[in-house]
Structure formats: structure tokens, C-alpha cells
Amino acid sequence: MDGWCGQALEVDLNRGLSSILPLSPNVLNQTLGGRGLAGHLLRTRSPDLAIPTICLACGPFCGANIQTAERLVAVFRSPMTGGIFDNSAGCNFASALKQAGFDALLLKGEAAELSHLQLDSAGGRLVAVPELAGLDTARTLSELGELAALAIGPAGENQVRFAAVVASAGESLSRGGMGAVLGRMNLKILSASAPEVSRRAESQECLTAKTDLQRLYNASPFLTGPLGIGVCGTAALLDLTQARQMLPTANFRATIYAQAAEFSAAQLKKNVGFAADPCPACEIACRKKDAAGVLPEYDSLAHFSALLGLHDLQSVIELERCCRSLGLDPVSTAVTLAGFFAGRELPPETETLVDLLEQIAYRRGAGALLADGLKRFVDSLNNGQTAFCAKGLELPAFDPRGAYGLALSLAVSPGGDYRHAQAHFHELLRKPVPTERFSFAGKARIIMQAEDAVAACDSLCICRHTLVAAGLEEYAALLTAVTGVDFDAASLAMRGRQTIMRERWLNQQYGFSAADDDLPAFFFATEDHQGLDAPLADLNRQLFMTERERYYRLRGLNEMGHPLEPPVEPV
């Protein structure tokens, strides 16, 4: 079973104890790792919903010098949505966890005081770090030197619902509020150290599978083309959404941004200059940085500029870095700020916004009103303002009226996250198969199949972006070569389907129903369109509901959106 360690580490923070859990070959074969394994452990090892729990897991390719496979997946109950949520990031903590001999790390309970959890092959050790209270993420991580680590900032310590987790090398785990869960657990830092693990020499089958994958990546305009994310970063998507007239602007009152050209990838390169800042083991390198640090990715770049109304690129970059320092999710932050300033004629000054971000992170002043996210802020106003959220999670930088599959995927996603189906691939990028974006016809089946593929990809801990070029057939061949267990595309899709059904079943336990599989009424035919400047037509409510019902039938859900029977867990 090369590829899997065969054990997980469970840490009881209440007692400060850790224990090693053996993972059977059947559990690993059926869950794959990553998102599938983390969800399985969350369901089977943490039945008490009142106890804060996070499961971190890596995949079978981690540490094997396989493209984009040094990824960590976190599964937890989101303080934003109240339901199951998964997040992933390319970071060195994933390979450190695998080198320590663990496929997953299950955290449960609350430490008595602010702590640093130190992991190695023997288990976990809690060290009190009260002196780090209030420290920003950069200074916190700098204290650890070369250790692979995850850290929260002041926002996480103060349990801001959209608090992020920052990795010492690679992406951040931003969406869903994992930082707030760690804050509730009193965990400031997670670090892992272990000796390098020698792996068997690569077989010819593994080399062939890797070569096939690289060939597909190299042939993908989106990944490696001259205007692709490998060259331009994810900012390349801004020109595309502007051209499709679906770039959320002025708090979703418009879908075309007059200043969009000033924030394009070309302008970033010209006015700021950037270099590759890849995640570990990633040759695509969609993440970019300048001399001062990481640059904004598409969603935060678009929302801080078009949605919030900031027309200065340097101001947007400053706010992104302020979010990273304080440990805030920049996407939720930008959408929440846009809602806070809705209706004002002039955009806020950058200095005002920086101060407001600090108030949010420390729950002071006006920030105390916003620290629980846009939906709860709007609900407190009780003035009819729209909260632009799905399941309580602030919407990404794609107007759902511009791509109907995207709209459906946002609604039915277990976490309200469009990345669960990557619908923008086929509707905007026209890959792997182009579909009509202004039609619901056939979208239920497309979204269901895409969710299964993404869930399988998340369980293997491969970057989701690569699904625009490669498919489950290629990843099945690689998995077979690495583990010695026979897999094909159908078996990976089946495991992805099991992961989705487990997540929907967990959401049912958390109180979710069909009412949660929806979008704000604003996007349907509504009277709340005074001053709207959007060329996009409203979504047709009846057609949306019909396609959602079709999704339920295809997925094997009842009219409440619940699985017809509880998923069976492997043993």
C-alpha cells in the first residue's frame, strides 16, 4: 500500500493527549485520503456536534514528487455556514504530516490556554504560548524558522467567523472560517517535523502516468498557455469575467467594471511586476508575488476592486496583505465590506478600510458588527438588504446570472462553494466540453458528475485546476501505479460520490434542508433592482427549481435534499 501510511493521529485537546489510530487498507482504498478520509474520520470519530473538530489529511501522492500533490485538505463544521466545509491548500505541512507517518490529523476539543501543537512521528505535544497572543501571522510563523506550520492571526484568536489559516509555505486555508475553529480550540500554531522518509524507486508505470499528466498540463491553454494562470496567475480570469459581463461590481448592482483593465493580469505585470510563487511540488505556479509578498488571487482581486469600488491597484494589494497578516479570508472580508458600505456614493478610503480590518480582527467598534460575516450583519439590520451569500458563505467573484451551471452548483454545494463543481470550466473556459451558459438544461447531471470528480481529486489531494486538462482516467492510472491497487475512472468517481453523500448526510445532521440549497432572491425576478446596471437577465426561478429537483433525483436525495439512507462507512 505504498502511498498511504496506514494511520492517523487523534489529538484530544481537552486532555492534552494524542493517540495513533490504525487505518485499515479498506478505509484507505475506499476514501483515498484527503477530503474523503477527513470526512470519514469526522463522521466516525466525532459524533458529538458540540465539540469543535477539524480533520486535516493528505493524499496518497503526497511526498512522491508528483505534480501539484503536496496539498493539505481540512474538513470541519464551518462557523460561517453551520455545515460541513472543506478547504485545501498546497503547503509544506502536508508532506511534513506524511513524513511523520500519518495520513490524517484529527483535532478535537479545546486547549486550556493558547497553544502550539507540535507534531512528530511519536505523536503530538501541546506547548502553551500565551506570549504569542495577538501576534500577526507573519511574525508568528517567523518564530518557527524552517518548520512546516499553520498559524492563525488575531482574527482567529477572536473567533471572527471568516478567519483564515496561513501556511508557512504555500497557500492559505482561507474560506469557511477554519481559523475561527482553531481559535475556539485555543490553537495558535500547528507545526510538524519529521525526518525525510525514503520511498521506493518509481516504477515505469508511475513514470509513464506522470509523463502523460505533464503532457496534458502542457497542452492546456488555461494552465500553461501564454494567457493562462501559469504565466499570468489567476488574475487572468478577470478579463474573462469582464468580457462575459459577469464581474460582480458595486455590491452586485452591476456586472461590468469600467476600470477592469487596470486590474488585469497584464496590468499587474506591468505596474507591479511579479514572479512565480508556486505551492510545493507545483510546476504550474499560478500563485504570484512581488518583492513585498504574495499578490491577490482572482476572487479577492476582483472583489476588493470591482465589488467594493476601490480603483487603485496598490490599495487592493495592501488590503489583501492586511487580511493575510490579520488572518482574515479576503473574499468574505471584501463582500462583507461591500455590504457594509452599500448605498454610499463614494468608496471608502484605503486608510479607513485598513483600520476597519483591524477592528474586525479584534472585534472592536464597527468591526464587532462585521466579524460574524455578511449574512448575520444584514440580518441584524432588518432593512431588507440582500446578503450575497450561499449557505451563509459570501459569494465568489462570478455573478451567478452569467452562468446557470455555476448558479446551480453554488446552491447545491455542501459548503456553498463554487469550487466543488468547477462549473466555470465548461461554461466560461469551454473546457473540457463547452456548454451553453444561459441554460439550465442538462446542468444537473453535469454538476453532479463534476462534483464527483472534484471530490475524488480533493481526496487524492491534487490541485482542482488540473481537472481542466486531465481527467479521472489519468489519475486512476497514476494511483494504480503508486499504490499497486487497481483503480479506474469509474471507481474514482464512485468514491467521489460517496464523499459528497457523506457531506450531505452530515449537513442533514446539522439541520440543513432543501431551503439551504438556494441563492439570494436578488438573482431571480425581483423588485429589488432599483439602480441595477447589469446586462444579465434574472434567473428563472421555476427553471432553477426544476433543475434542482432533477439534481436531487440523480444524486439519490429526497425532496428535502437528504440522502435516502445514511451512507455506509468502510471499516
Rounded Cα distance between 350 and 328, Å, is 17
CATH (domain of 297): 1.10.569.10
Asked whether residue 230 carries a pLDDT value surpassing 90, the answer given is yes
Q: What is the mean pLDDT of residues 330-340?
A: 97
When mean pLDDT is compared across 97-111, 117-131, 198-212, 479-493, the lowest value belongs to 198-212
Residue 91's closest CA among 39, 178, 166, 5?
A: 166
Q: Domain boundary at 349, 384, 419, which?
A: 384
Asked whether residue 292 carries a pLDDT value surpassing 90, the answer given is no
Position with higher pLDDT, 472 vs 170? 472
527, HSE (Cβ side, Cα atoms, 13 Å): 1
User: Which run of H or of E encompasses 56?
Assistant: strand 53-57
User: Which run of H or of E encompasses 98?
Assistant: helix 92-99
Same domain, 11 and 83: yes
Residue 63's closest CA among 482, 468, 435?
A: 482
Same domain, 277 and 343: yes
At residue 519, φ and ψ (nearest 5 deg) are -120, 160
Residue 460's closest CA among 209, 169, 150?
A: 209
Asked whether residue 198 carries a pLDDT value surpassing 70, the answer given is no
* Pairing of the two strands 115-120 and 187-192: parallel
Same domain, 183 and 287: no
Same domain, 116 and 23: yes
Q: Is residue 414 part of a domain?
A: no
Longest C-alpha distance within the chain, in Å?
A: 65
Buried b (16+ CB within 10 A) or exposed e, 315-353: bbbbbbbbbbbbbbbbbbbbbbbbbbbeeeeebbebeeb
Q: Is residue 416 part of a domain?
A: no
Q: What's the pLDDT score for residue 425?
A: 83
Asked whether residue 194 carries a pLDDT value surpassing 90, the answer given is no
Average pLDDT, the chain: 93
Q: SS3 string of 505-559?
A: HHHHHCCCCHHHCCCCHHHECCCCCCCCECCCCCECHHHHHHHHHHHHHHHCECC
Q: Is residue 317 part of a domain?
A: yes
Cβ neighbours, 10 Å, residue 512: 21
User: Which run of H or of E encompasses 148?
Assistant: strand 148-151
Q: Is residue 328 part of a domain?
A: yes
Q: Is residue 103 part of a domain?
A: yes
Cβ neighbours, 10 Å, residue 222: 24
Place of cell 525525510: 196
3-state class of 73 per DSSP? strand
Report pLDDT digits (tens) over 375-401.
999 999 999 899 999 999 999 999 999
270, HSE (Cβ side, Cα atoms, 13 Å): 7
Q: What's the pLDDT score for residue 540?
A: 95
- Counting the structural domains of the chain, the total is 2
Q: Domain boundary at 192, 222, 240, which?
A: 192
Q: Is residue 326 part of a domain?
A: yes
Q: Is residue 529 part of a domain?
A: no
Q: What's the pLDDT score for residue 530?
A: 58
Same domain, 243 and 360: yes
Band (pLDDT 50/70/90 cuts) for residue 268 is confident
Q: Are 393 and 176 in contact (CB under 8 A)?
A: yes
227, HSE (Cβ side, Cα atoms, 13 Å): 9
Place of cell 514572479: 275
Q: What is the mean pLDDT of residues 314-318?
A: 95
Cβ neighbours, 10 Å, residue 507: 25
Rounded Cα distance between 60 and 70, Å, is 10
Rounded Cα distance between 555 and 514, Å, is 13
Same domain, 255 and 327: yes
Q: What is the mean pLDDT of residues 36-40?
A: 98
Asked whether residue 183 carries a pLDDT value surpassing 90, the answer given is yes
Q: What is the mean pLDDT of residues 123-142?
A: 96
Same domain, 30 and 176: yes
Band (pLDDT 50/70/90 cuts) for residue 412 is very high
**What is the pTM (predicted TM-score) of this model?**
0.96
Band (pLDDT 50/70/90 cuts) for residue 90 is very high
Cα dihedral 207, 208, 209, 213, rounded to 10, equals 100
Rounded Cα distance between 65 and 457, Å, is 17
Position with higher pLDDT, 492 vs 344? 492
Band (pLDDT 50/70/90 cuts) for residue 65 is confident
Q: What's the pLDDT score for residue 429?
A: 87
Q: Is residue 318 part of a domain?
A: yes
Pull the grid cell for residue 499: 464523499
Same domain, 32 and 173: yes
Rounded Cα distance between 181 and 170, Å, is 21
Residue 193's closest CA among 120, 141, 123?
A: 120
Asked whether residue 484 carries a pLDDT value surpassing 80, the answer given is yes
At residue 56, φ and ψ (nearest 5 deg) are -105, 135
Distance of CA 368 to the CA centre of its chain: 25
Q: What's the pLDDT score for residue 98?
A: 95
Sorted by sequence, the CB contacts under 8 Å of residue 414 that are 6+ apart come out as 83, 84, 85, 420, 500, 503, 504, 506, 507
Same domain, 19 and 139: yes
Same domain, 174 and 267: no
DSSP 58: -
Q: How far apart are the first and last CA of the chain?
A: 16
Report pLDDT digits (tens) over 423-482.
778 898 887 788 899 999 999 999 999 999 999 999 999 999 999 999 999 999 999 999
Q: What is the mean pLDDT of residues 479-492?
A: 96
Q: Are 292 and 321 in contact (CB under 8 A)?
A: yes
Rounded Cα distance between 223 and 233, Å, is 9
Band (pLDDT 50/70/90 cuts) for residue 50 is confident
Calculate what percentage of the chain has a pLDDT beyond 90.
84
Q: What's the pLDDT score for residue 531?
A: 58
Pull the grid cell for residue 306: 470591482
Report pLDDT digits (tens) over 351-382.
999 999 999 999 999 999 999 999 999 999 99
Q: Domain boundary at 127, 162, 192, which?
A: 192
Rounded Cα distance between 215 and 221, Å, is 12
Asked whether residue 527 carries a pLDDT value surpassing 60, the answer given is no
Same domain, 29 and 156: yes
When mean pLDDT is compared across 102-106, 277-281, 523-527, the lowest value belongs to 523-527
Structural domain span for residue 275: 230-384
Vertex 404, ends 424 and 416: CA angle to 5°?
70
Same domain, 19 and 94: yes
Band (pLDDT 50/70/90 cuts) for residue 196 is low
Band (pLDDT 50/70/90 cuts) for residue 346 is low
Q: SS3 string of 262-301?
A: HHCHHHHHHHHCCEECCCCCCCCCCCEEECCEECCCHHHH
The identity of residue 426, as a single letter, is H
Rounded Cα distance between 562 and 304, Å, is 36
- The backbone region for 78, taken as left when phi is positive above 0, alpha when psi lies in -120 to 50, beta otherwise, is beta
Position with higher pLDDT, 268 vs 374? 374
Q: What's the pLDDT score for residue 201?
A: 64
Q: What is the mean pLDDT of residues 522-547?
A: 82
Q: What's the pLDDT score for residue 434?
A: 84
